[in-house]
Amino acid sequence: MSGFETIVGQNQALRALLRILKSGRIPHSLLFSGIDGVGKRSAAVRLAMARSCVCYAAQQRQPDRSSSDNPEAFSDYPCGQCNSCLRIAAGIHPDITTIQPEAGVIKIGEIRNLCRILSMKSFEGHGRVAIISDAHLMNPPASNALLKMLEEPPEQTLLILTARQSADLLPTIVSRCLHIRFNPVSRPALSDALIQHHGFGTDEASTVAALAGGSFSRALSMKKAAWMNWRNWLITELSRLGSSPIHVILALSEKLSKNRDALSDVFEIMLSWFRDILIFTCGSTHVINRDYLAHLEEASRRCSRSDLIQIVNAVKSAQAHIEARTNIRLSLDHLLLRLWQQLNMENPRSADHCEG
């Protein structure tokens, strides 16, 4: 099975899961925490597979196999080929229940229904598994209902919660789960996986790995031509910000504010762009946007280092405001006008440049 690339770079978490499997003592409830796209759900599905895989039962009796400490071995533990594994992968195994937020929330009805299902005997004798994705989106009544179940878990059940961070869940829920952290994937691991398994070129993989913030799924979504075109458009807009009239700046703000889902990408691209120019002013070419070297060099001749530092800080500040759910349009207006002002001063390269 090709599980490795979806949980690439998670050695620590996978070793912990391997140890659990090898011990043969899988706890009633686990919490996988980490940012989106680092393999939490994929690992949860694989753990569910390992629990009921016929071949896994055979593997347990093979000392050589079970003594391996290679984290990649976790992906190979369930065979991925038997009837049970195939049905789990297809989401049609009768003993596996998955819950996902609907419209950004998990309500009590979902959790009550889950409690009812888990209280029933398993169809195939390996026990039941429930995976609650984005458990931090449970509302308070749902959280309390889940807590009750965790206090007295039904026999032979495995409950796996995934969440961005444990702090977003009730501490009483977290304390009843074995907590495994999934770290953001490192840039080199992400870049290698994109090149080896997903047909990225070296420069493209390096740019995408740097922009993806450690999230594998985010990196893959950037593979789409539409995303690259959109990113190129945004960079073009940023590079002519200082010479655009105010009504163009405000129109750009309006356009960006309409797509809330893309805002985190907007900020990552902005930060990468202005940081790259800053790096160029210091005479280095170790930049993220390697496909824009000539543009970066040209831009670095028109900006002073102190202006760029202020710009980067302004972008970070606007990002924080928007994450705190302030008015998106106002925050973007404020940011873009600030950048326009900063870039429009036609500063020549000033004395604060680093010596190459």
| Residues found near Zn ion in the complex (CB under 5 A) | 53, 55, 78-79, 82, 85
Amino acid found at 326: T
Strand order in the sheet with 29-33: 96-99, 128-132, 157-163, 29-33, 178-181
Minimal distance, residue 37 CB to Zn ion, in Å: 26
- Using the minimum distance from each CB to Zn ion, give the nearer residue, 56 or 292: 56
Q: Angle between the 202-211 and 263-281 helix axes, to the nearest 10 degrees? A: 110
68 contact partners, CB below 8 Å, separation of at least 6: 18
Minimal distance, residue 250 CB to Zn ion, in Å: 58
Minimal distance, residue 48 CB to Zn ion, in Å: 11
Minimal distance, residue 74 CB to Zn ion, in Å: 14
DSSP character at residue 347: P
Minimal distance, residue 26 CB to Zn ion, in Å: 16
- Using the minimum distance from each CB to Zn ion, give the nearer residue, 60 or 217: 60
- Using the minimum distance from each CB to Zn ion, give the nearer residue, 72 or 237: 72
Amino acid found at 206: S
- Using the minimum distance from each CB to Zn ion, give the nearer residue, 92 or 294: 92
CB atoms within 10 A of CB 341: 13
- Using the minimum distance from each CB to Zn ion, give the nearer residue, 37 or 80: 80
Write out the H or E segment, with its range, that includes residue 241.
Answer: none
For residues 132, 134, 136 and 141, what is the CA-based torsion angle, rounded to 10 degrees? -50
- Using the minimum distance from each CB to Zn ion, give the nearer residue, 93 or 176: 93
Minimal distance, residue 7 CB to Zn ion, in Å: 17
28 contact partners, CB below 8 Å, separation of at least 6: 150, 153, 157, 158, 159
Rounded Cα–Cα distance for residues 256 and 251 (Å): 9
Rounded Cα–Cα distance for residues 56 and 305 (Å): 58
Minimal distance, residue 86 CB to Zn ion, in Å: 8
CB–CB of 54/84 below 8 Å?
yes
- Using the minimum distance from each CB to Zn ion, give the nearer residue, 85 or 339: 85
